[in-house]
Structure 1
Amino acid sequence: MGLEKRTVKIIVIVAVVLLVIGAILGLILGLLLHQRYVELEVWPRSEEYTWEQPLIQFRPSDTGSWHPWYKRMNDFLRAYETTIPEDPPRAPCSTRNRRDDPIRSNNCEIAMRMWGPCTADEFYGYSMGRPCVFLRLNHIHYWVPHPYNVSTSLSIPTEMPENIKQFMMQRPAQTYGDYVWVSCGGEYNSDKENIGPIQYIPAGLPPGFPLSRLHTADKIPYANRNLPDQVPPPLIAVYFENPRREVLINVECRIWTRDIYYDQSSRVGRARFELFVNQ
């Protein structure tokens, strides 16, 4: 009888210990995944940036109101200035306004035209009340994306924006390579009414990130996955042509891949920010 009680006690203790270990491991894995799993970043960001309320607010007629955003954008983009040809191109002049750098090379002019109006020449649209933001992916070293394309028989989501579907048809993956597609829009119905037309820059190129330029887990040795990229990840700019003034607009951007399941309560593969353009 005593032996049975002792056995039961040992079983209970072992079970409790296993549960505690499992909870600790689950917590650690949860923290690691939260930090490492793919994140869609929005730039520029304020010094008080929080994911829950990332507000971009400015008055186009007040230089002191929008110039800090212009400076933050330049500070962010400085890492992308390069003399190495790439597609779409950037150049050593990328963060210098034409007023400060009137003489430019042909490569510089081509790069600035391709990224217009989301350039330093145009103050990234903030002086006109038509702001640009830049998007890029982060924490992708442990991720192997499964892209949507028309080369496979798997279905395309019906809710996917039409412009992405058109690019899939015009630029099939077997010829042009796969993309992690991106779309932005109003987060709620009222935001959809107030956000106005959106352009993805460079215009004419697919709205997204080419897999050929993403340093994902299938391209990096496991031992190197904690090391930073030597080359910053690709960018896409989003240009808001005419957002309604004096209205807070909640903007949501997301990526489209077969392995990322859209969840409005999740941060994975999704970004949001608030836009307020004063009169």
Structure 2
Amino acid sequence: MVVSKDNDNGRVKEFEFAKTPELTKWEAFKKAIYDPRTHQFLGRTGKSWGQLFVFYALFYAVLAALFAICMQGLFATLSDKEPKWTLDSSLIGNNPGLGFRPISDRTEEGSLIWYNTTNQTQIQRWVNYVDSFLELYKRNQTGENYVNCDFDKYPAEGQVCVTSVDQLGNCNPERSYGYRTASPCVFLKLNRIFNWQPEFYTAPHPDMPDELKYHIENNTKSKERQQIWVSCLGKDDVDKEKTADFNYYPHGFPGYYYPYKNDKNYLSPIVAVELRNLTPNTIVSIECRAWAKNIRYSGSALDRAGSVTFEVQIDTATS
């Protein structure tokens, strides 16, 4: 209703307009979905919906094409075999880390190897860990690009050296890797760094343990000194008193496995270390170190490099 004043006689005039009937909620909802008067569906006509569909179809088609072009350009700079960034220019750098096996799958045990020599269940558990680790090394390594290597016979381009468990001495499956005795074996392996070439110590280094110095000088032929040496000791003086000696199979990582080129079937060399006659019923911390001129060593717990530590406890008392 509109109210106005008649200027002639001062009377107020009222004009009534036709009122649109109010819609119920259901009717308003149906009209929002489809309005039969304007033929609009969800507020748009068929033509408007068609234009909107064509616009977004073209928009996303162009977006997908641009994304595909970018990805193709990216993949063109990558190789399935060789990483784009290597050595000093890569995130992992050029200082390989040293790892060990077996490792418990129980997080709370950390790097502790613990078993009782009278408990067959515990012994078998650690044997299973080693079996799982060596599974690839136990397979038949013949044919394809495998070749038997030696210090005077390096693999050709695309070939890989056979890595056999037959060279692990006392650390073999028939002896349960020493876990049925007080002299278990651990297995060491260097992390792979593409195109990293070790610089060998062909003569003893002053910081090397006496046992390793003696081995290099008296038990190694000149050509066989082309390897990354390995040594293990008790971590602290107390731990050194609890260790007898260590046997290595072999005493280092042979140089003919390097550099790593990501060739098919490549297996990293391993060193088996027999921990001989550790003091029973107590935890012994052991540090193993890799020796090469271009392997930086740090024994710090916060910045460990070129070495690995683990703990061993061998109980002999019947529980």
For Structure 1 versus Structure 2, the TM-score category normalised by the shorter chain is: 0.5 to 0.7
Native 8 Å contact 1:125 1:131 kept in 2: yes
* Residue 242 of structure 2 is aligned to residue 194 of structure 1: yes
Q: What SS does the aligned partner of 1:68 have? A: helix
Offset at 1:165?
Answer: 2.6
Offset at 1:263?
Answer: 1.2
Offset at 1:180?
Answer: 0.6
Q: Which letter maps to 1:143?
A: W
Counterpart residue number, 1:249: 284
Q: Once structures 1 and 2 are overlaid, which stretch shifts more, 66-75 or 135-144?
A: 135-144
Tell me which of 55, 73, 77 is aligned to 2:134: 77
- Give percent identity, aligned residues only: 28
* Residue 207 of structure 2 is aligned to residue 159 of structure 1: yes
Q: Which letter maps to 1:211?
A: G
Offset at 1:257?
Answer: 1.2
Q: Which letter maps to 2:274?
A: Y
* Residue 198 of structure 2 is aligned to residue 145 of structure 1: yes
- In structure 1, list runs of 5 or more residues that go unmatched: 1-28, 95-110, 151-155, 221-226
Offset at 1:255?
Answer: 0.7
TM-score when normalising by structure 1: 0.66
> What pairs with 1:5-20 in structure 2 (closer than 5 Å)?
none
Count of residue pairs the alignment pairs up: 210
Larger relative contact order (CA 8 Å, sep ≥ 6): 1
Q: What SS does the aligned partner of 2:103 have? A: coil
Alpha-carbon distance in structure 1 between the residues aligned to 2:287 and 2:181:
22
Alpha-carbon distance in structure 1 between the residues aligned to 2:246 and 2:253:
18
Q: What SS does the aligned partner of 2:180 have? A: helix
Q: Cα 1:277–1:30, aligned 2, differ >3 Å: closer, same or farther?
A: farther
Q: Which has the larger radius of gyration?
A: 2
Q: Which letter maps to 1:73?
A: V
Show structure 1 runs of 4+ deviating over 6 A. 87-90
Alpha-carbon distance in structure 2 between the residues aligned to 1:137 and 1:247:
28
- In structure 2, list runs of 5 or more residues that go unmatched: 1-87, 151-161
Q: Cα 1:129–1:177, aligned 2, differ >3 Å: closer, same or farther?
A: closer
Q: Which letter maps to 2:220?
A: R
Alpha-carbon distance in structure 1 between the residues aligned to 2:224 and 2:90:
37
Native 8 Å contact 1:53 1:274 kept in 2: no
> What pairs with 1:179-258 in structure 2 (closer than 5 Å)?
179-202=227-250, 207-216=251-260, 220=261, 227=262, 230-258=265-293
Alpha-carbon distance in structure 2 between the residues aligned to 1:140 and 1:54:
24
Q: Cα 1:229–1:83, aligned 2, differ >3 Å: closer, same or farther?
A: closer
Q: Once structures 1 and 2 are overlaid, which stretch shifts more, 36-45 or 190-199?
A: 36-45
Native 8 Å contact 1:214 1:233 kept in 2: no
* Residue 101 of structure 2 is aligned to residue 64 of structure 1: no
Which protein is richer in helix relative to its size? 1
Counterpart residue number, 1:269: 306
Instruction: Please list the CA deviations of residues 212-231 of structure 1 after superposition, one character each: whole Å capped at 9, or x if unmatched.
Output: 11334xxx3xxxxxx57622
Q: Which letter maps to 1:67?
A: Q
RMSD of the alignment, in Å? Answer: 2.8
Q: Cα 1:166–1:196, aligned 2, differ >3 Å: closer, same or farther?
A: closer
Q: Cα 1:215–1:144, aligned 2, differ >3 Å: closer, same or farther?
A: closer
Q: Cα 1:177–1:139, aligned 2, differ >3 Å: closer, same or farther?
A: same
> What pairs with 1:23-172 in structure 2 (closer than 5 Å)?
32-33=91-92, 37-48=95-106, 53-81=110-138, 82-84=140-142, 86=148, 111=166, 114-141=167-194, 143-150=196-203, 156-169=204-217, 170-172=219-221
Offset at 1:53?
Answer: 4.0
Alpha-carbon distance in structure 2 between the residues aligned to 1:186 and 1:49:
24
